[in-house]
Structure 1
Amino acid sequence: MPERPDVHVWSPSIGGITEVLHARFTRHAYPMHLHDTWALLVVDDGAVRYDLDGREHDAFRQVVTLLPPHVPHNGAPVTPEGFRKRVLYLDSSYLDDRLVGPAVSRPRLVDPVLWRRIDLLHDLLAEPGDDLAAETHLALVAERLRMHLERRTSPAPATPHDPRVARRLRTLLDERVVEGVSLHEASRALHVNATYLVRAFSREYGIGPHQYVISRRVDLARGLLRDGLPAGQAAAAVGFYDQSHLNRHFKRILGFNPGRYGPVARTSTRARRAPAPGPPGRGRGGRTVPPPPAARRPP
């Protein structure tokens, strides 16, 4: 009986990643083939055995595998249960061809920090509307990959911090807080490396560029909600992908849903504060307290 693999593949909207693949295979064995792009692979379940440049390697959970472009490789499940994997296909904008040689020699990277960043990047790519966050994490992933391939055991020496770069980026983010600006666009506009932009901004303001934009949008949405605009319209007006996108970030930052805002919420709050009229009760000394007299109409 032919295998029916569970496969989800798409092209994200951010630059640098040509394709994302999530797949589970039980019997499929890849023949020798090659890609025009880098293949950044994590295995979530099972294990894969593959040949690269005449040498046998294994890919399994908690190990990051980086397969370089234009180098033939194959792949097959190690056990009958198969494997489940996630792959990012990266173009040369973050990893250039001079790193192909080191990647052929060391395709397997044992780095829990890198693995967690890749895992989070996949989550961000699966949720529409968080492109700036995905670009930020992609820049950090690429920086750590270069660190491994260039045989460094720690990140590159820190460049002297220039607060003017962070202020220029903040101005750009403020000017385009609703329509948004990609990290690639900001890098070109400010003539600064994308990774340095992220680090400079975070160091200066104590918050990443993406979280800064999200916080600004949530704050703008609060004002619109207070004025009575429905949550769906408020989400679109401040730059969120849709209402659920607003809801997620709104609750994460403020601890409650946007539905707490608006005329309906204020009315219900007043209703809770004002006691409802009840039946006549007992006053001091057990006397019956009559209800207030009805207002007399003027003659």
Structure 2
Amino acid sequence: MNPIDPQRRADWLLRAKPVAGIERIEAFFQGKAFAMHRHDTYAIGRTLAGVQSFKYRRGTTHSLPGRTMVLHPDEPHDGQAGTGEGFRYRMIYVQPAVFQQVLGGRALPFIEGGVTNDPRLWAATEALLQQVSQGIDPFEQSDALAELAHALAAVAGTPPPRSKGDFASAQRAREYLDAQCQQAVSLGALEHAVGRDRWSLSRDFRMFYGTSPYRYLTQRRLDAARTMMLRGMPLADVAACAGFTDQAHMTRHFTKTYGIAPARWLRIAGGASERVVTIVQDTRLPGA
């Protein structure tokens, strides 16, 4: 986990530029951080270092690195450091109406105690709780919010909706993403091409293809990127041609998908390709 920077002992707060109304922050506090207050949003986050303590509902809760905090709208809470070292954390604030676009009128999910170590919520918040210095593509954010809404409902035990899904729409979306994977893809353009709203489309796409539209698009871009890399194209050019914002954007998704950075993958995979060619050449019959 990210350590507490000993050079930054004073309290601080960083705020990312809001995207489609979703606020993201990262902060460090010592001692008493803030008094009792409440939001009309969900406050969902994770402690990066230290112990984050807060009064919530009927007791005091302690959040440690590796856990996910989920504070329900309109629930009073405060915040303070659980130890003398202070605590560092990231948080997003999401209007209940955003989740309702996904849940379709089902009861808002409630996570008892305000803190959970459920791996489903950890995974679902990964994209939304990245460093605030890293921008989030609106397509990626929308996709991540849909995944988070489903994860919250699953962990809270909210009954799933009864839906057969719309395969034709999901298929049109897949074909559109295949055709446009190396171009800038906007949510509006995808909705227009398919004729469905983003939330319904996201649900159907997961149902029929086992992943989200944004992750499907990212994987197709990574497929193209690997091919370009093996052809000797510079990584910065690969990122631009494959449809990523920049090389850092490509590197983040490449590493998250394959567990290895692009440059290292290229050294390994490129060398392996050369060895295969050499073996084929050396095993040809004499006179071939």
Q: Would the TM-score normalized by the shorter structure come out above 0.5?
A: yes
2:63 counterpart (32, 43, 60):
60
Q: Distance in 1 between matches of 2:219 and 2:96?
A: 32
Q: Is the 8 A contact 1:240 1:246 kept in 2?
A: yes
Q: Is the 8 A contact 1:235 1:242 kept in 2?
A: yes
Output the aligned Cα RMSD: 4.4
Q: 1:156 to 1:111 in 2, by over 3 A?
A: farther
Q: Distance in 2 between matches of 1:234 and 1:3?
A: 40
Report the TM-score when normalising by structure 2: 0.66
* CA displacement at 1:129 relative to structure 2: 6.2
Q: Is the 8 A contact 1:24 1:83 kept in 2?
A: yes
Q: 1:279-290 maps to which residues of 2 (within 5 A)?
A: none
* CA displacement at 1:164 relative to structure 2: 0.9
* Structure 2 gap ranges (5+): 1-7, 279-288
Match of 1:242 in 2: 246
Q: Is the 8 A contact 1:27 1:77 kept in 2?
A: yes
The answer to whether the aligner puts 1:205 opposite 2:209 as a matched pair is yes
* CA displacement at 1:141 relative to structure 2: 1.2
Q: Is the 8 A contact 1:125 1:131 kept in 2?
A: no
Q: Distance in 1 between matches of 2:259 and 2:56?
A: 50
Q: Is the 8 A contact 1:10 1:21 kept in 2?
A: yes
Match of 2:35 in 1: 31
Q: Output one character per residue of 1:198-254: Cα deviation in whole Å (capped at 9) or x when no partner.
A: 343244334432332123223444565577654322321231122243345557559
Match of 2:151 in 1: 144
Q: Is the 8 A contact 1:124 1:133 kept in 2?
A: no
How high is the sequence identity, in percent, across the aligned residues? 27
Q: Is the 8 A contact 2:254 2:262 kept in 1?
A: yes
* Structure 1 gap ranges (5+): 274-299
1:9 counterpart (15, 22, 31):
15
Q: Is the 8 A contact 1:64 1:115 kept in 2?
A: no
Q: Distance in 2 between matches of 1:210 and 1:168?
A: 15
Q: 1:124 to 1:250 in 2, by over 3 A?
A: same
* CA displacement at 1:168 relative to structure 2: 1.7
Of the two, which has the highest radius of gyration? Answer: 1
Q: Which of the pair has the greater relative contact order for Cα pairs under 8 Å at 6+ separation?
A: 2
* CA displacement at 1:60 relative to structure 2: 1.7
Q: How many residues align?
A: 257
1:164 counterpart (165, 168, 174):
168
